[in-house]
């Protein structure tokens, strides 16, 4: 794949330690971006490796996306270290931490609060914190992460499905409000990725069925998402906003 040239772009990436986030981090630095990699878990090793491979660079900051002071600190780090901010990739979410699947009547109010607080409110908190820095550059790009479960309904995770549908709605609302500032807001909607998190919460048969049901009938890997995410971060998608780009090997059609 020929990646877009992201040299000179500064990107804030949340959720850099899971298989997908670590893949985005490597792809962004490989395309030349300078990345602030933010995560609740320790991602210093991933950032060091991505920065060492270059040609872009990376710095890790510990950040809970639901904590305004952490989020403000991540944006400040981008400005102090790299001189500004051009794009945000809102990848952090409660996914692997969902645990085993449960019928919706067995979910608790606390389960709902946790998933919606992180996946929806946290995504909004990062957008809000990034706005002054994006506006200072004359505009920018925001990429949120939804999921095809908003189309399939995926039984067993009603709170997660609802949270990702809310991310799609937030994407459209933010696109409508921020377009005048030159900020484009889109979402990427991955199909079931055969990664560590998916294996932790789904059985082998479920993962195999998802692969077989696709127009392109194979397992999906984190690398399959890279082209869409880099495109949405880059100037090549400058006139695209409010869209949800489904990347799932032709599993669902929108
Ligand atoms: N794996 C899939 O099949 C799949 C499919 C569709 C969408 N997605 C989405 O892709 C993204 C990455 O998925 P993944 O498979 O790597 O999942 P994952 O659970 O392994 O990764 C989630 C990441 O978010 C971080 N995180 C969680 N809560 C946080 C918080 N409060 N503050 C900061 N960071 C926090 C985690 O530490 C981790 O790095 C998620 O948004 C997920 O919902 C995944």
Query: How confident is the chain (254 residues) per 10-residue block, as mean pLDDT?
Result: 92 98 98 98 96 96 98 98 98 97 97 98 99 98 98 97 98 98 98 96 95 98 98 98 98 92
Output the CA 215–ligand 1 centroid distance in Å.
Answer: 25
Nearest-atom number in ligand 1 for the CA of 193 is 3
pLDDT score for 2: 80
Which residues does residue 89 pair with via DSSP β-bridges, in sequence order?
13, 143
pLDDT tens for residues 30-54? Answer: 999 999 999 999 999 999 999 999 9
Place of tokens 């490989």: 30
Output the CA 14–ligand 1 centroid distance in Å.
Answer: 9
User: What's the angle, vertex CA 114, arms to CA 109 and CA 115, rounded to 5?
Assistant: 100
Nearest-atom number in ligand 1 for the CA of 119 is 41
d(CA 149, CA 135): 33
pLDDT score for 228: 98
Output the CA 114–ligand 1 centroid distance in Å.
Answer: 14
We find that the CATH architecture of domain 10-247 is: 3-Layer(aba) Sandwich (3.40)
pLDDT score for 144: 99
Residue 206 appears among annotated catalytic residues: no
Point out the catalytic residue in the list 24, 95, 160, 206. 160
Q: Which residues of 78-115 are buried (b: 16+ CB within 10 A; e: fewer)?
A: bbeebebbbbbbbbbbbbeebeeebeeeebeeebbebb
pLDDT score for 3: 87
Output the CA 180–ligand 1 centroid distance in Å.
Answer: 30
pLDDT tens for residues 54-102? Answer: 999 999 999 999 999 999 999 999 999 999 999 999 999 999 999 999 9
Residue nearest ligand 1's atom 21 by CA: 18
d(CA 159, CA 107): 8
Q: At what angle do helices 226-233 and 19-30 cross, to 10 degrees?
A: 50
**CA nearest 185: which of 199, 169, 201?**
169
Nearest-atom number in ligand 1 for the CA of 21 is 16
pLDDT score for 223: 98
Residues having CB closer than 6 A to ligand 1 are 14-15, 17-21, 39-41, 63-66, 91-96, 118, 122, 145, 147, 190, 192-193, 195, 197-198
Mutate to test the pocket of ligand 1, among 38, 93, 223 (most ligand atoms within 8 A of CB): 93
Output the CA 93–ligand 1 centroid distance in Å.
Answer: 4
DSSP one-letter string for the chain? ------TT-EEEEE--SSHHHHHHHHHHHHTT-EEEEEESS--HHHHHHHHHH-SSEEEEEE--TT-HHHHHHHHHHHHHHHSS--EEEE---SSGGG-S---GGG--HHHHHHHHIIIIIIHHHHHHHHHHHHHHTT-EEEEEE--THHHH--TT-HHHHHHHHHHHHHHHHHHHHHGGGTEEEEEEEE--B-SHHHHHHS-HHHHHHHHHTSSS-S-B-GGGGHHHHHHHHSGGGTT--S-EEEESSSSS--
């Amino acid at each position: 794949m020929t990646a877009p040239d992201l040299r000179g772009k500064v990107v804030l990436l949340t959720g850099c330690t899971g298989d997908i986030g670590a893949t985005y981090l490597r792809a962004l630095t490989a395309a030349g971006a300078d990345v602030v990699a933010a995560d609740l878990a320790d991602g210093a090793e991933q950032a060091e490796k991505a920065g060492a491979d270059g040609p872009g660079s990376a710095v890790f900051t510990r950040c809970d996306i639901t904590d305004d002071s952490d989020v403000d600190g991540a944006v400040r780090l981008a400005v102090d270290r790299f001189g500004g901010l051009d794009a945000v990739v809102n990848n952090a979410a409660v996914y692997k931490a969902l645990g085993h699947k449960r019928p919706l009547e067995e979910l608790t109010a606390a389960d709902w609060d946790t998933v919606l607080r992180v996946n929806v409110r946290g995504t909004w908190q990062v957008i809000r914190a990034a706005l002054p820095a994006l506006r200072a550059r004359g505009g920018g790009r925001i990429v949120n992460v939804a999921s095809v479960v908003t189309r399939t309904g995926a039984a067993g995770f009603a709170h997660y499905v609802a949270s990702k549908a809310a991310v799609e709605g937030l994407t459209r609302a933010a696109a409508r409000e921020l377009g005048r500032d030159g900020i484009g807001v889109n979402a990427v909607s991955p199909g079931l990725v055969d990664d560590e998190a998916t294996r932790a919460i789904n059985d082998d048969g479920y993962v195999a069925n998802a692969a077989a049901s696709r127009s392109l009938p194979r397992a999906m890997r984190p690398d399959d998402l890279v082209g869409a995410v880099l495109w949405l971060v880059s100037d090549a998608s400058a006139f695209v906003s409010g869209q949800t780009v489904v990347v799932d090997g032709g599993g669902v059609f929108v």
